[in-house]
Amino acid sequence: MKPGPTGAGPDSFDFGGVHVSRILITGGAGFLGRRLARRLMSAGGSAPSLTLWDHLPFEGPHGAKVVVVDLLDDANRSAALTGGVDAIVHLAAVVSAQAEADFDLGMRVNLDGTRALLEACRNLDKPPVFVMTSSVAVFGGDLPAKVPDNWAVRPASSYGTEKAIVELLVNEYSRRGVIDGRLLRLPTVVVRPGRPNQAASSFASSIIREPLAGEGAVCPVDPATPMWLMSPDRAIDALVHALALEAGELGLDRVISLPGLSVTVAEMVAALQRVAGKSVAELIDWTPDPAIAAIVQTWPGHFEAVRAKALGFGADTSMDEMIEQHIRDREEHQ
């Protein structure tokens, strides 16, 4: 079944004829986890049983169950899965620059934690739909101007390596019938609210978000650096759409490079100036950070995304609209 229009209830989703009523989101305290939970719980119709996992206490949306769990704590994880689950959206991860700075932590969470969750799925009564996010960081080296769907991964960072390994694991566990996997290579999501984090891509949001709030922001990369971008709303649309795909549409390869918007950093700032004015754009400090630039410059700035488009995934149309969306979201939550 194809997903209904935005606002259709999650109970309208049918995965291969199996009605999904129990959904688990790991990384539930994170930006995408919270936003996805709100989308699911606010949709019309009868809401699903929604459980949010994270490693620290947090408050979820009304009606959702919040569980504090370490993915590598066998007893805790098994207890949290008691009762079963129909679909899992795995968003728990250590971000790129943090994974590069702390190799052990990145491997523990991004690789070992994911493998532990996949293993736990072997004990469920039926294979759950398993949606997970990957990254353009799985690519590196000499890349074409527009990366085709079948381009070989060659990560140039610890984070990219961890995600590349997990892509193979999701395909393998799907092949063996343990899960029904869908792994989405997300573009960089902007504009994220909040404050900068340890992701190498964090600047892509901060150079828009902070100037709009009247604050300075540092851009650590060259203005000509290409970026492959997606708005928060499109990212949530993609996660919901992935949940609603039929297994037969995916075949053996469960990894999908999503459509995005290809712009340079200079074009991002030009859009900011068009939307908010020259004085706002002038709040950006162009100070290079070689460590961040070394990571970001390995990422591709454009994808063909032929398969994703054929499966019904969509992309944003302009940087101006993405900035205007952030302004609307900020005003709604003030």
* DSSP letter assigned to residue 10: G
Active site residue 173: no
CA nearest neighbour of 122 among 179, 80, 83: 179
* Catalytically annotated residue among 159, 173, 203, 299: 159
What's the token pair of residue 312?
A: 């019904």
Q: What angle do CA 160, 77, 15 make, to 5 degrees?
A: 70
Maximum separation of any 2 CA atoms in the chain, in Å:
59
Q: Which residues pair with 183 in a beta bridge?
A: 132, 255
CA distance 250 to 171: 11
CA distance 258 to 256: 6
Number of helices (H) and strands (E) in the chain: give both, helices first. 13, 14
CA distance 64 to 43: 13
Q: Describe the strand order of the beta sheet including 188-189 as a list of residue ranges.
A: 188-189, 226-230, 261-264
Give the rounded distance of the alpha carbon of 282 from its chain centre: 30
User: Which residues are marked as active site?
Assistant: 159
